[in-house]
């Protein structure tokens, strides 16, 4: 299950459901990385860019669940590198529940079915491009064939 959790973390790092966190309003004047932010300014956090930042992530465009195996980064602590559920005091209160449900559902689906691509489709032919908006969606739907598995 540990590797499955790493897969979920990596999938949400590369493909966050919300590319931008809900806006916050600066409560006082501040200077962030050399930029002046006036009190009352609406601030948006670009999650998509942060989670693909080469200064933070080694090979940021590559799907590598192993990056989380020996890492202290997770959804429970307040890590500002992995922002799927936000971070800090205003992070999503349902993040622990969401991860538990994701792990349980995905583990059951993987256990109970053998998965394959449609005939003639190779893994390298699968288009992982996304549309951008308030929520990210795949440009081309992923088609996979599940065959029930009975141990």
Which candidate, 73, 100, 81, 142, places its Cα nearest to that of 4?
Answer: 100
First to last CA, the chain: 19
- Give the angle 50-53-55 at the CA atoms, nearest 5°: 125
Which candidate, 63, 54, 53, places its Cα nearest to that of 14?
Answer: 63
6 is in an annotated binding site: no
Q: Residues at the annotated binding site?
A: 92
Q: Residues at the annotated binding site for heme?
A: 92
């Amino acid at each position: 299950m540990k590797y499955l959790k790493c897969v979920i973390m990596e999938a949400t790092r590369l493909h966050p459901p919300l590319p931008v966190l809900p806006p916050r309003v600066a409560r006082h004047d501040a200077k962030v990385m050399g930029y002046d932010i006036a009190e009352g300014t609406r601030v948006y956090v670009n999650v998509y860019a942060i989670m693909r930042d080469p200064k933070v992530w080694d090979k940021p465009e590559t799907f590598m669940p192993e990056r989380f195996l020996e890492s202290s980064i997770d959804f429970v602590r307040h890590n500002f590198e992995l922002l799927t559920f936000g971070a800090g005091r205003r992070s999503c209160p349902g993040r622990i529940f969401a991860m538990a449900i994701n792990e349980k559902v995905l583990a059951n689906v993987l256990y109970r079915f053998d998965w394959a691509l449609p005939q003639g489709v190779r893994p390298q032919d699968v288009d992982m491009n996304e549309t951008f908006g308030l929520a990210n969606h795949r440009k081309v739907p992923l088609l996979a064939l599940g065959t029930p598995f009975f141990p």
